[in-house]
Structure 1
Amino acid sequence: MQNLVFNIAERNEKGKKVRIKGEVPCIIYGESLDKSISCKISKKEMLKLLSCPKNSVLSLDLDGTLEKCVLKEVQRNTFGEIIHLDFQYVRKGDTIKLKVPVNYTGQGFLESKGLLVESIISEIQLQGYPEEIPESIKVDVSELNYGDEVFAKSFAIPKTLKSDITDDTIVARVVALVSELQQQEVESSEL
């Protein structure tokens, strides 16, 4: 995980007023805080922040005080514009829950055999110390064949982390790129 610093400022005004000024309202919350902190971030800082891996530990410079946080939620309006950010405060020694994407590598080998990985679970929630949570979980599927299934037990995650799924959970399966029925239709149309 990366450790990056972004500038934010405490706010007293309502979110609508912050947005009119061209900034984005946000909040920092967490069990270790006495109360949530309402703040705001410039759009420029927000764009830099959003280019970081989803589960990076961020250092938010809140009016000169560094707050360690992770981005928990990005709220958007009906037009897709970002209208609010939620950060979870992370104190040293705290454990957190984060959703981590599952990336399947070696799909090109499967496609060359007319196969495809059908993802059943695209991300899992992990709980543990922020510095131990990976940015993504990589699963090599290049050696799989038609009908093979990928189980959660194949994930390479540290034993110190807890997952929201059990080892025997099926996370993906290998299917035909073109179904047998479609293949028969193609062959009969060629006759």
Structure 2
Amino acid sequence: MSVTLKVEEREVRPRSLRKQLRHEGKALGVVYGYKVESTPISFDEKELVKVVREHGENVLVALQIGGKKVNTLINKLDMDIFTPTIKHVEFIAVKMDEETEVETDIVLVGEAAGAKLGGFLSQTLFKVTVAATPDKLPERIEVDVTELAIGDSITVADLPEEKDFRVVTEGDIQVAAVVESTLEAELEEIEEAEAEAQAADADTATDDSEQTSEEQAEENKEDKE
């Protein structure tokens, strides 16, 4: 998947120029990497925001700059935490026939069978590192969890295999698991503890009863003698 983004070279100074560009709806960034010297750029902010929303940050971005095309990936995206605006972005120019490593999201799909029976689906890993050529990087990895019963789990090694990319993250790391509901587990523990206590009391009562019977029998024997 590739998208095209028109960008323009910009001057770094004065600071008032950067303010003016932002006021005009432009976002600021820089591109560097394969056969590209570090170049400050500006571009339509809304266009990149739309691209990231629809395709994620791993999308191949073909920058149209100075009459030429530069294939890039988003290396760093600095967003404002309060508004959906871009503060700054770094594009890294890439060689199309060389593998690169990026992090990609893990998305759980479906309702786990164990969750329908009162269990809780817990996801513990949300991203993995994958390696692929720039045009084959996945936007996300979807994992079907519908067959997971209570007590079942999925590790990185269980992620679906794809010919376009390979997962670099260690395979024994857990991704998700279906566990018993905390409340139900606590109630079961309480019930088990109560049952054990009752059993212990019953054993004690039996022992006491047997001891009392033996003592009474001994006393009766002595009386007869």
Q: Judge same fold: TM > 0.5, yes or no.
A: yes
Contact 2:12–2:40 (8 Å) recurs in 1: no
In structure 2, the CA distance between the partners of 1:86 and 1:79, relative to structure 1 (3 Å rule), is same
CA distance in 2 between counterparts of 1:179 and 1:149 reads 20
Counterpart of 2:46 in structure 1 is 44
Indicate which of 137, 143, 155 corresponds to 1:139.
143
- Structure with bigger strand share is 1
2:66 corresponds to? 63
**Distance across 1 between alignment mates of 2:54 and 2:61:** 9
Q: Any idea what SS the aligned residue of 1:121 has?
A: coil
Q: Report if the CA contact (8 A) 2:112-2:149 is conserved.
A: no
* TM, length-normalised to structure 1: 0.81
Letter of the 1:4 partner, please give it: V
**Corresponding position: 1:151 with 2:155:** yes
Q: CA RMSD in A?
A: 2.4
Deviating more after overlay: 141-150 vs 160-169: 160-169
Identify the match of residue 102 of structure 2 among 98, 101, 106.
98
How far apart are the structure 1 equivalents of 2:46 and 2:136?
29
Question: For the residues of structure 1 that align with 2:65 and 2:126, how far apart are their CA atoms?
Answer: 34
Q: CA deviation at 1:108?
A: 5.7
Unaligned residue ranges in structure 1 (runs of 5+): 185-191
Distance 2:78 2:51 in 1: 15
TM-score by length of 2: 0.70
Any runs of at least 4 consecutive aligned residues in structure 1 with deviations exceeding 6 A, and if so which?
none
Please, which runs of 5 or more residues in structure 2 have no aligned partner? Answer: 189-225
Q: Is the 8 A contact 2:32 2:39 kept in 1?
A: yes
What is the percent sequence identity of the aligned residues?
Answer: 21
Cα separation, 1, equivalents of 2:62 and 2:185 = 54
- 1:12 — aligned with what? 11
User: 1:163 aligned to 2:162?
Assistant: no
Deviation at 1:21, TM superposition (A): 3.6
Is 2:72–2:92's contact at 8 Å kept on the other side of the alignment? yes
**SS of residue matched to 1:111:** helix
* Matches of 2:55 and 2:141, distance apart in 1: 13
Deviation at 1:183, TM superposition (A): 6.1
Higher helix share: 2
